[in-house]
C-alpha cells in the first residue's frame, strides 16, 4: 500500500525518538519557519564554524513527515560542510519530488531513502521539505552576515 511507502518504519523511529530535539545554547544560525498551509512550525538552531556544521537542534511541532524529516536531517548534516549540506538539500528535494536521487544522497544512506515514498503524495512534499528549507534559509542569512562581517573587516584594515 502506498501509505506504507510514506509512513516507513524508519520515520516512525525518528518521529517517536526525535534526534537533536531542542534549542542550542549558543547557536550562530537560528531560523523559525512556518508552513503557511498547515500551520506546522520549526525552529532550527545551528553552530557553523569555519564552514562546517558542528552542532544542530530543532524544535517545533508538526506532522509525522515534517518531524521525522527534521530529525533525520539534523543527524545527517552534523559534521558536514555548508557546501555538502546544500548539495544534500538539493538531492533530498529531488528525492521527495521524484522518488529518485543522485549519488550524494546514496552516501547519506538509508534514513533519507525512507522519504522516497513522499513523491506519491505531492501535498506532503512541503512537509518533508520544511526543515530543509529552514536550514537553507538559515545558512543563507548566515553567509550574508558573514560576508558582511568579512567586508567590514577588510574595510577596517584598508
Partner 1 sequence: MSNLGHTIRREFPLFNDPANQGLVYLDNAATTQRPRQVVEAMQDFYYHDNANPHRGAYRLAERATQSYEDARDKVAGFIGAASSEEIIFTRNATEAVNLVAYAWADHVLQEGDDIIVTEMEHHSNLVPWQMLAQRHHASLRYVGFDGQGQLQLDQFDALLRLRPRIVAVTQVSNALGTINPVAEMIRRAHAAGAVVVLDGAQSVPHMAVNVTELDVDFLVFSGHKMLGPLGIGVLYAHKRLHSAMQPVLYGGDMISNVDYDHSDWNDMPWKFEAGTQNVAGAVGLAAAIDFLRDLGMDAVAEHDRLLTGYALEQLQQLDGITLYGPRRNHGPAISFNLTGIHPHDLATYLDQASIAVRSGHHCAQIVMKKLGLAATARASFYIYNTLEEVDRLIAGLNQAKDYFKKWL
Interface pattern 86-115 for partner 1 (x via CB under 8 A):
------------------------------
Distances (CA, A) of 94 to 25, 70, 89, 107: 33, 17, 9, 15
Q: For the CB of residue 92, give the shortest distance to partner 1 in the complex, in Å.
A: 19
Site for partner 1 contains 23 (CB under 8 A): no
Cell, residue 83: 557546501
Stretches 31-39, 44-52, 86-94, 106-114: which one binds partner 1 (CB under 8 A)? 31-39
Separation of alpha carbons 48 and 21, rounded Å: 18
What's the CA gap between 74 and 36, in Å, rounded? 22
Candidate segments 2-10, 48-56, 106-114, 134-142, binder of partner 1 by CB under 8 A: 2-10
Q: Which of 121, 137, 143, 146 binds partner 1 (CB under 8 A)?
A: 121
**61: which 3 cell numbers?**
511541532
Tell me if 144 contacts partner 1 by CB under 8 A: no
Number of CB atoms found within 10 A of residue 19's CB: 18
As measured in angstroms, the least distance from the Cβ of 106 to partner 1 is: 27
Q: Given 3-state DSSP classes, what are the helix, strand and coil percentages for the chain, each rounded to the nearest 5? A: 60, 15, 25
Q: Is 65 in the site for partner 1 (CB under 8 A)?
A: yes
The grid coordinates listed for 27 are 547557536
Binding site for partner 1 (CB under 8 A): 1-3, 6-7, 12, 15-16, 34, 36-41, 61-65, 121-124, 127
Amino acid at each position: 500500500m502506498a501509505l506504507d511507502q510514506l509512513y516507513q518504519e524508519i520515520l516512525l523511529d525518528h518521529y517517536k525518538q526525535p534526534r537533536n530535539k531542542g534549542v542550542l545554547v549558543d547557536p550562530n544560525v537560528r531560523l523559525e519557519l512556518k508552513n503557511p498551509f498547515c500551520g506546522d512550525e520549526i525552529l532550527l538552531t545551528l553552530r557553523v564554524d569555519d564552514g562546517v556544521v558542528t552542532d544542530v537542534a530543532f524544535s517545533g511541532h508538526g506532522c509525522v513527515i515534517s518531524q521525522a524529516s527534521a530529525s533525520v536531517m539534523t543527524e545527517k548534516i552534523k559534521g558536514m560542510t555548508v557546501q555538502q549540506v546544500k548539495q544534500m538539500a538539493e538531492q533530498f528535494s529531488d528525492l521527495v519530488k521524484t522518488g529518485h536521487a543522485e549519488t550524494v544522497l546514496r552516501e547519506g544512506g538509508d534514513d533519507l531513502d525512507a522519504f522516497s515514498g513522499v513523491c506519491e503524495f505531492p501535498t506532503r512534499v512541503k512537509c518533508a521539505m520544511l526543515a530543509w528549507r529552514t536550514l537553507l534559509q538559515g545558512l543563507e542569512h548566515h553567509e550574508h552576515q558573514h560576508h558582511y562581517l568579512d567586508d567590514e573587516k577588510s574595510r577596517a584594515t584598508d
